[in-house]
Amino acid sequence: MTEHTLAPLEVAPRLERLRERLEEAKIDALIVTNLANVRYLSGFSGSAGVVVVVAKGALLTTDGRYRTQSAEQVASAGVADALEIAIANADGQRAAIRDALRSSGATRVGLEADDVTWAASRRWRELFEGDAEGVPVTGTVEALREVKDPGELDRMARAAAIADGALAEVLPMLREVGAGRLTEADFALALDTAMRRGGAEDRAFDTIVAVGPNSAKPHHQPTEQVLEVGKPMVVDFGATFEGYRSDMTRTFWLGGEPTGEMARVFEVVRDSQARGVAAVRAGVAARDVDSVCREVITEAGWAERFEHGTGHGVGLDIHEAPTVSQQGTAILAPGVVVTVEPGVYLPGLGGVRIEDTLVVTEDGSRTLTGFTKDVAA
């Protein structure tokens, strides 16, 4: 894998862009509790933290475990001058947040509705004084995260390259199929380990390895099922590098080329995925990419066996905006990262899914996941 110097993350402008969105949402302040959003705005990657953004300032609160880490990461992100850090126990953090809201004069305070429980919202409202009130907001930071900057794209490309290399490393294990007792779990563990060796800080999500009838279950978890010659094997996995994730699915036929009805399934899904990839470009509605993929599978007679959306956004989270499905409302823009992953699943027989992660460009897309789509294994 050829590596190059990663472009820096452009964290500092994000707070100002968020303030513009606060005005649009008619709120004076936002309490950010979603940890991916906290990281996006501050550079801080700890497991406990809150960012409060007001009209002329911002605050990161966390506890003493992260005293040094928070200072280092905020400085590295270039936002030390724009973001105050308060290190304290839970009561001290709440007091710091109360003071920040009071000094800003905020009266309408946004709470991340998709992240804050009903009980938590009641606790947050205890901090508000006078006429201040809590307002549920959705997607305020997430909308900023849809378009990736060059530093984000570099990290996602590195994650994808690590995953590509790991699959190439472990694929020769499939020569043991029919001669031993290689299981789904064995292959998944080997793949996860190879990603770690290749530089991943973690998996992007729980690795899926599904063989035979199990491959008809889109989110099957690896078991002690033995890999068998003459069966399909779906491998859906990704790596995480500096917080950013990759996502790729390949389906193999163990012991040669697919036969019977499954040969036709492979052909149709390959065609569907290729047409979906070709449809990805700036200005295209996300739902239209889904329609292109779905039309191919519908014409083949398997409309009811394509039982999920065509794709989703990827970044700090493995599933984020935009949604590439019939429910999606987004128009793709340059810098947006999406997956294209149609599939057909025949219960009792097997399934096929092929997935790539793509960066939207002005005249099409750039594929981050480059592993071959050859099916024979």
My answer on whether 63 and 173 are in the same domain is no
pTM over 0.85: yes
My answer on whether 136 and 208 are in the same domain is no
CATH of the domain at 112: 3.40.350.10
In a domain, 252, yes or no: yes
CATH of the domain at 245: 3.90.230.10
My answer on whether 257 and 156 are in the same domain is yes
Residue 24 CB coordination number (10 Å)? 9
Which pLDDT score is estimated for 178? 77
In a domain, 7, yes or no: no
Tokens encoding 80: 């030390």
In a domain, 109, yes or no: yes
88: burial class by Cβ within 10 Å (0-12, 13-18, 19+)?
middle
How far is Cα 369 from Cα 71, in angstroms, rounded to an integer?
34
Query: To which H or E segment does residue 32 belong?
Result: strand 29-32
In a domain, 52, yes or no: yes
My answer on whether 124 and 169 are in the same domain is no
DSSP-derived 3-state class of residue 48: coil
Query: Which stretches of the chain are DSSP H helices?
Result: 12-24, 35-42, 67-76, 90-104, 118-125, 140-145, 150-170, 184-197, 260-279, 286-299
My answer on whether 26 and 116 are in the same domain is yes
How far is Cα 196 from Cα 349, in angstroms, rounded to an integer?
33
Structural domain total, the chain? 2
My answer on whether 284 and 185 are in the same domain is yes
In a domain, 6, yes or no: no
My answer on whether 189 and 114 are in the same domain is no
My answer on whether 125 and 207 are in the same domain is no
Residue where a domain terminates, one of 121, 145, 169: 145
Write out the residue range of the structural domain in which residue 133 sits: 12-145
Residue appearing with tokens 């009130």: 133
Residue where a domain terminates, one of 86, 120, 145: 145
In a domain, 311, yes or no: yes
My answer on whether 251 and 280 are in the same domain is yes
If we measure between CA atoms, which residue out of 285, 289, 224, 276 comes closest to residue 249?
276
My answer on whether 108 and 239 are in the same domain is no
How far is Cα 265 from Cα 302, in angstroms, rounded to an integer?
9
- Strands 320-324, 337-340: pairing is unpaired
My answer on whether 188 and 77 are in the same domain is no
Which pLDDT score is estimated for 114? 95
Contacts of 210 by beta carbon, 8 Å cutoff, 6+ apart: 184, 217, 220, 222, 233, 234, 351
Residue where a domain terminates, one of 95, 123, 145: 145
- Strands 57-62, 50-54: pairing is antiparallel
Which pLDDT score is estimated for 129? 86
Which pLDDT score is estimated for 1? 46
Which pLDDT score is estimated for 260? 93
My answer on whether 164 and 218 are in the same domain is yes
Mean pLDDT, contiguous 10-residue spans, the chain (377 residues): 81 96 94 98 98 96 98 97 97 96 95 95 89 93 98 98 98 86 96 98 98 98 96 98 98 94 97 98 98 98 98 98 97 98 98 98 96 88
In a domain, 377, yes or no: no
How far is Cα 338 from Cα 320, in angstroms, rounded to an integer?
9
